[in-house]
């Protein structure tokens, strides 16, 4: 699992790459949170284009970042979901918390 | 129901085995020529059950996870995931969406995902002895 982070202005975009499960979620979470702490963005975008697998650990990851962004009165967008990842997100009701793009 | 093929494995409850276990089960099931969606559903359910063994069952001590996959007549798959860990005191509560004892960033959705992605799920557990989860999934005939 890789995570490349780009930041411009008040926006942080995290490009997730690989498989998200309980084993891999922790490192990604720490990397994203360090950037949120450093920058206090208005918008966090989690890009799932290159995510090949996700279980409910991914939901924990998204929910946790949603809470972080709420503390900053910011927003969370999740983008480029495959049909499978969309199914897991919808099961958890994430589509009601974050804005899903594409 | 007639068993056409069977695969068993046991592996240490280490989080680095989560990926291996779901991929191994998916590779065995692939002889039925499942759809991409069916394979994703199976991998996700296996990942949830195996993660439960690691996060909950063997929270205190390291142990083994026992997985049996059966290909049954009529394009059906049965997957059994068993541990000899701490067991679940209240299965009904454990299966409620959003309920978790793990804290941190566990969403409490493991069983909800398994129920949603598999046709049937059976859970047997005894405190101090362990837990067995069995899934059934009917694959589309192709």
Q: Quick: pLDDT tens for B33-92.
A: 999 999 999 999 999 999 999 999 999 889 999 999 999 999 999 999 999 999 999 999
**Residue of B12, B44, B97 to mutate for A, most A C-beta atoms under 10 A:** B44
The residue of chain B nearest to residue A91, with distances taken between CA atoms, is: B113
Do A88 and B113 make contact, defined as CB atoms within 8 angstroms? yes
Do B51 and A22 make contact, defined as CB atoms within 8 angstroms? yes
Do A63 and B107 make contact, defined as CB atoms within 8 angstroms? yes
Say how many C-beta atoms besides its own lie within 10 A of residue B79's C-beta: 23
**Chain B residue numbers touching A20 (CB-CB < 8 A):** none
Task: Note every long-range contact of A2-9, with CB atoms under 8 Å and residues 24 or more positions apart, other chains counting.
Answer: A3/A27, A3/A28, A3/A31, A3/A32, A5/A31, A5/A32, A5/A35, A7/A35, A7/A39, A7/A41
Residue partners of B119: CB distance under 8 A and separation at least 6: B135, B136, B137, B138
The residue of chain A nearest to residue B45, with distances taken between CA atoms, is: A55
**Residue of A21, A24, A25 to mutate for B, most B C-beta atoms under 10 A:** A21
Q: Is A18 on the interface with B (CB under 8 A)?
A: no
pLDDT at A94: 87
Q: What is the DSSP letter of B61?
A: S
pLDDT at B142: 66
Mean pLDDT across chain B, nearest whole number? 94
Q: What's the domain range around A20?
A: 2-101
What domains are defined for chain B? 3-138 (3.30.565.10)
Tens digit of pLDDT per residue, chain A (102 long)? 999 999 998 999 999 999 999 999 999 999 999 999 999 999 999 999 999 999 999 999 999 999 999 999 999 999 999 999 999 999 988 888 888 987
Q: What is the DSSP letter of A73?
A: T
ipTM of this predicted structure: 0.91
Nearest to B4 by CA among B50, B70, B69: B70
Q: Give the span between the Cα atoms of B100 and A57, in whole angstroms.
A: 12
Q: Tell me the pLDDT band of B118, cut-offs 50, 70 and 90.
A: very high
Per residue in A31-51, pLDDT (tens digit) is 999 999 999 999 999 999 999
Q: Is A56 on the interface with B (CB under 8 A)?
A: yes
Token pair in block for residue A51: 């995510």
Number of domain units in chain A: 1
Closest CB from B16, B36, B113 relative to A91: B113
Q: Supply the CATH number for residue A27's domain.
A: 3.30.750.24
The catalytic position among B22, B38, B52, B70 is B52
């Amino acid at each position: 699992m890789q995570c490349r982070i780009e930041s411009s202005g008040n926006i942080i975009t995290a490009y997730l790459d690989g498989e998200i499960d309980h084993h891999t979620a922790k490192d990604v979470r720490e990397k994203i949170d360090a950037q949120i702490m450093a920058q206090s963005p208005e918008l966090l975008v989690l890009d799932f284009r290159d995510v090949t697998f996700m279980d409910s650990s991914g939901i924990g990851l998204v929910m946790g970042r949603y809470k972080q962004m709420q503390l900053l009165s910011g927003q969370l967008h999740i983008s480029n979901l495959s049909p499978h990842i969309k199914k897991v997100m919808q099961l958890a009701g994430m589509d009601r918390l974050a804005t899903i793009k594409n | 129901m007639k068993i056409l093929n069977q695969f068993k494995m046991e592996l240490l409850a280490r989080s680095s085995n989560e990926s291996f276990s779901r991929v191994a089960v998916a590779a065995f099931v692939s002889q039925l020529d499942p759809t991409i969606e069916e394979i994703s559903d199976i991998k996700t359910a296996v990942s949830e059950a195996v993660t439960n063994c690691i996060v909950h069952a063997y929270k205190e001590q390291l142990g083994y996870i026992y997985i049996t996959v059966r290909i049954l007549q009529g394009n059906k798959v049965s997957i059994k995931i068993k541990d000899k860990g701490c067991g679940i005191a209240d299965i009904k509560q454990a299966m409620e969406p959003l309920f978790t004892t793990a804290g941190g960033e566990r969403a409490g959705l493991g069983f909800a995902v398994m129920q949603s992605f598999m046709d049937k799920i059976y859970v047997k557990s005894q405190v101090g002895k362990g837990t067995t989860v069995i899934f059934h999934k009917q694959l589309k005939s192709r």
